[in-house]
Amino acid sequence: MSNIISSNRPGGGIKWHWPSIHPEGRKFLLIAGIVTLCFWLLGWEIVGWLMLGVTLWVGAFFRDPVRVTPAGSDVIIAPADGLVTQIAEVPPPPEISGPDGLGAAPMLRVSIFMSVFDVHINRTPVAGTLRKLVYIPGKFLNADLDKASEENERQHFVVERTDGVRIGFTQIAGLVARRIMPFVTMGNELTTGQRVGLIRFGSRVDVYLPAGTTPQVLLGQRTLAGETVVARIGVAETIDGIGQ
């Protein structure tokens, strides 16, 4: 007989559940379902089967699973599901630099690439006040390219913690993505891991780490939005890993 050491649920009852569909995706799921039904009614079975696959994919794309966010005053949590494709020292984006943003000094940027099969609900890496929310229209280059940070459609966030530390992150549209949608507005008080936006369909999220902080993730590692610890504020440890 096992004893539960700790649990975030009364009684420790943890069960797997089908993820819900985010309300923003339900209209697309309904449209895909109606089109599928029409093909079946017309007797176009081959196309009907193909559209059934598309309908299932649409439902999966807009899935919104429950995430358990680690507690801790120093944690910076992944804002997106996906693959860590780049860790680089870069100047902060001009739209959120300066004294009222992230400053002017170069910062470590962790880039997380989301494929069309990943969850696309994005979450805030830290708790605090949303000081900046800047949307910039742009191109739809491959989100995995470095220049996508400067040329693609994107949306910047700056969250200021109660201790004054500011964390910036950016949603970047990709080849297939055509719309970035925020769920929050400037001045909102956010909790760590709170849902803040959505990108349709396939994209990238950059996180800018404050001075004296290094990533606790590695290139090629997969992250889960709202769960994976990307870094700890003020912790500058170098970590290694093995691909296997």
**What range defines the domain where residue 40 resides?**
20-64
CA distances from 137 to 83, 130, 148, 176, 179 (A): 24, 21, 12, 15, 10
Beta-carbon-side half-sphere exposure of residue 240 (alpha carbons within 13 Å)? 1
Whether 121 is in a domain gets the answer: yes
What pLDDT was estimated at residue 235? 84
Residue pLDDT, tens place only, 103-158: 999 999 999 998 888 888 999 999 999 999 999 886 656 555 565 666 678 899 99
pLDDT of 1 reads 46
Q: Could you tell me if residue 14 is inside a domain? A: no
Taking the C-alpha atoms of residue 74 and residue 128, their distance in angstroms, rounded to an integer, is 12
Q: What is the DSSP string of 182-211?
A: ES--TT-EE-TT-EEEEEESSEEEEEEEPT
Per-residue pLDDT tens for 193-239? 999 998 876 688 999 999 999 999 999 999 999 999 999 998 888 78
Q: Which residues are catalytic?
A: 203
Is 244 among the domain residues?
Answer: no
User: Is residue 141 included in any domain, yes or no?
Assistant: yes
Tally the residues of the chain.
Answer: 244
Count: domains in the chain: 2
Residue 80's pLDDT band (boundaries 50, 70, 90)?
A: very high
Say if residue 186 is in the same domain as residue 161.
yes
Residue 70 domain-assigned?
A: no
CA separation for the pair 64, 59 (Å, rounded): 10
